[in-house]
Amino acid sequence: MKVYLDAVSTTALDEKVRETYQKLLDEYYCNSDALYDDGVAIYDMQEKSRQLICSMFGVKKDELIFTSGASEANSLAIKGLALKHRDRKHLVTSIYEHSSVYNSFRQLEEDFGFEVTYLNPDEDGHITAEAVKNALRNDTLLVSIMQVNNEIGAVNDIGSIAAIVKKHPGTYFHCDMTQGVGKIGLDLSNIDMASFSAHKIHGLKGSGALIKKEFVQLLPLISGGQQEYSLRGGTSNALVNIVLARTLRIALENREKYHDHLLQLHDRLHDGLKDLVKINYDKGLVTLMNIDTPIPSEVLLNALNERGIMVSSKSTCGSRKNEPNRTLHAMGYDEDHAIRVSFDYTNTIEEIDYFIDNLKEILKQYA
Amino acid sequence: MPEMNYDHIVVRYGELSTKGKNRKDFTRQLTSNIRKRLKDHEKLTYNTLHDGLFIKLNGEDYETIREKLKDVFGYSYFSGAIRVEKDIDKVKEVSLDLARKHNIRTFKIATKRHDKSFPLRSDDINRALAGNILHNTDLTVDVHDPDLMIYVSVDKDFIYVMDEKIKGAGGYPTGINGMAMVMMSGGIDSPVAAYLTMKRGLRIECIHFASQPYTSKQALDKVLTLAEKLSVSQEEINVHIIPFTDLQLAIYKTVDEPYCITIMRRMMYRIADRICKERKIRVITNGESIGQVASQTPESISVIGKVADTLILRPLCMMDKLEIIDIAKRIDTYETSILPYEDCCTIFDPKNPVTKPREDKCLYFESLFDYEKLVDECVANDNIVNVSYRKADEEDESIF
């Protein structure tokens, strides 16, 4: 039996998305910027997709840039904005952002002379509006705070943070909503830029978008032609962009449909874990739990892996590096014993039970 | 807006009611149009009566239906309603419940007694219901500017209690006044003219003059998209696509430049006129508005229109551009109309078009080439595309 409990890392492709993508691949290959019929047909579908996604997020039609995923969207938002507005030198973010956000800021700091304030989460795991407010300066250009932390699942009050930044002249607000999309709704009315990727919601890898309000000026990171409002050169990955609308629609439908199922999975997992391990964090995203195990996480990971169970010890994007984990460190958790268990609607109660049973055995054997 | 447990929709006819003997045809057409628009909602049942159309929801979602109903012409207003037996105590109960569901401070009851045999007069009902609400809540009556209006309608077999009146698009049921051919360029005006034509009860077909390869496939697609948007009011629209290039080139080769547009427009009318006669369509409409461009001065309109004897109506004739744009935005055609694709009128744009053309000059220019053969060819090569928002939705459904 294989049990996948790492949904925060990525998800399996939805069957309907796969079918649609396959159908498009079989039928279309032309360049979406070509002016003959087959090219125009692809272009029209891509623009229809853009329009549908924008309306799902309640933004205007031209306020979405298709990207290769959230990492690119985050890089474009942060570096693109900063390099376009070099007169303001101060930036604010948090210490526990995804590496694509954090390293963008580090690069701006180290190579381009920006000053960055890295906010720490409070003891509840949140970046508060108060903390953001205190960090703002007259020359603050950008605040970037994630909606849901990818390692502990803490859900930030983005509405309050965005409202604070909105009132501060000349300061933009960006939100990495990758872990929140399709799970927790987000009102984008005060948010200038927001990023997400498709593969976290059963979509294709290499697909994502940056929502960018029309007044926000960016410097393109990829120079090229007219694609994506000249902000991202290169022949459009049009078929992938076309299926993003359906991916998102299915995710939103499933959010309603599986609401109760997810709560059941959560409760089953929580009940099973609470006497076995210390639960580091379970106050945020229903589908993510960070736990502290009595044996080193690496050992546990290997033992679970032998039994076909897939979980992570930390963010997959940093899994091969030996740097200290920013999130766990900031929260004061023991990163050598932390495990992240995450699931989604495709998981079953039986799988949760299988995981708990195996965990019990492993702990009995090695703890 | 709190969630209401409506079980019915009451549609009132309005202007229709004034039409004495044709009334049955009108209500039948209206009901038929509404049924078509709502055909995805299979559980609905319809009851067409003298005073209104009563649609029983049978569990169908009111909010979705509400938006679709707004696309249909020929009624005055509609309301989500709760049907009650003709028992004043039951009405009291329901109206009190309704008042409690809203977060308000003041209210007013307005009763209309369609059934004059009901023992209580409208005023008595108002008092009885208001009294009951005053007694059981902290609300007060405000007859001038109430937070909530509760409408009570005493009809033949039942009483309907409502808390909103949604104004319809007005006009007559599309189809009741026969057929019209709309000349559709793809600009801002012609879709508005098409909308107003349908609104006045005329079922439309559209005619579009395509000058490929001088105009692109996108320009044609734009017209089809516009027709698709307009089709919500009559389910489907036939669009006649006329290959116009040869005729247009002949005009520009033969006719003095200032008269090119005038002659071109005369040819369009000739072709539209011919197709109307073939299809027994008695009206041509278009988006012409007085003074807007050289071909729309009174002199131009007069000289151009002379070539067709089908009745030509110009719904936008006396409207300002901004008024037209307002409607275009409201009916959601504006954004499509302003897409920057050349149409056949803009592609051969003469520098000094005549604003006061003379008919004798037109006749002279037209005598210089065998335009009739070219008109025949245009008519013979009419490509009819049937467009419907439903087809488009189905296509979308498979990809998005």
Question: Where in chain A are the domains?
Answer: 3-12+257-366, 15-253
Tell whether the model's pLDDT for residue A122 goes beyond 60.
yes
The stretch A271-282 carries a mean pLDDT of 95
Q: Are A79 and A104 in contact (CB under 8 A)?
A: yes
- Cβ–Cβ below 8 Å for B396 and A20: no
pLDDT score, position A318:
65
Q: What is the pLDDT of residues A222-263, one digit of tens each?
A: 999 999 999 999 999 999 999 999 999 999 999 989 999 999
Interface of B with A in 203-232 (CB under 8 A): 216-218, 221
How many beta carbons lie within 10 A of that of residue A328, not counting itself? 25
- Cβ–Cβ below 8 Å for A245 and B400: yes
d(CA A176, CA A145): 7
pTM surpassing 0.80?
A: no
Contacts of B326 (CB under 8 A, 6+ apart): none
Q: Give the nearest partner residue to A246 out of B216, B218, B400, using CB atoms.
A: B400
- Cβ–Cβ below 8 Å for B399 and A24: yes
Q: Give the nearest partner residue to B400 out of A23, A37, A52, using CB atoms.
A: A52
Q: What is the pLDDT of residues A310-351, one digit of tens each?
A: 999 866 666 776 778 999 999 999 989 999 999 999 999 999
pLDDT score, position B1:
54
The stretch A69-90 carries a mean pLDDT of 97
d(CA A269, CA A136): 40
Q: Is A251 helix (H, G, I), strand (E, B) or coil?
A: helix
Q: What is the pLDDT of residues B285-320, one digit of tens each?
A: 999 999 888 889 999 999 999 999 999 999 999 999
Nearest partner of B271 among B385, B387, B383, B388, judged by Cα: B383
- DSSP per-residue letters across A134-172: HH--TTEEEEE--SB-TTT--B--HHHHHHHHHTSTT-E
Q: What is the pLDDT of residues B199-251, one digit of tens each?
A: 999 999 999 999 988 888 888 999 999 999 999 999 999 999 999 999 999 99
Q: What is the dihedral of CA B93, B97, B98, B100, to 10 degrees?
A: 140
pLDDT score, position B17:
55
Domains and CATH numbers, chain B: 8-167 (3.30.2130.30), 179-399 (3.40.50.620)
- Which tokens hold the place of B380? 């013979």
Q: Give the nearest partner residue to A48 out of B216, B218, B400, using CB atoms.
A: B400
Cβ contacts (< 8 Å) between B398 and chain A: which residues?
A: 20, 23
Helices (H), chain A: 15-27, 37-57, 70-84, 99-112, 129-135, 158-166, 227-230, 238-257, 259-273, 297-306, 326-331, 349-366
Please report which confidence band the pLDDT of residue B16 belongs to, taking 50, 70 and 90 as the band edges.
low
Cβ contacts (< 8 Å) between B221 and chain A: which residues?
A: 40, 44
Contacts of A280 (CB under 8 A, 6+ apart): A152, A290, A291, A292, A328, A331, A333, A338
pLDDT score, position B384:
97
The stretch A120-128 carries a mean pLDDT of 97
CATH class of A15-253: alpha beta
pLDDT score, position B326:
97
Task: For domain A3-12+257-366, give the CATH number.
Answer: 3.90.1150.10
- Cβ–Cβ below 8 Å for A48 and B396: yes
A20 touches chain B (CB under 8 A): yes
Taken in order A328, A334, A335, A340, the sign of the CA dihedral is negative
For residue B311, with 0-12 CB atoms within 10 Å meaning exposed, 13-18 middle and 19 or more buried, which class applies?
exposed
pLDDT score, position A226:
92
Nearest partner of A66 among A222, A227, A246, judged by Cα: A227
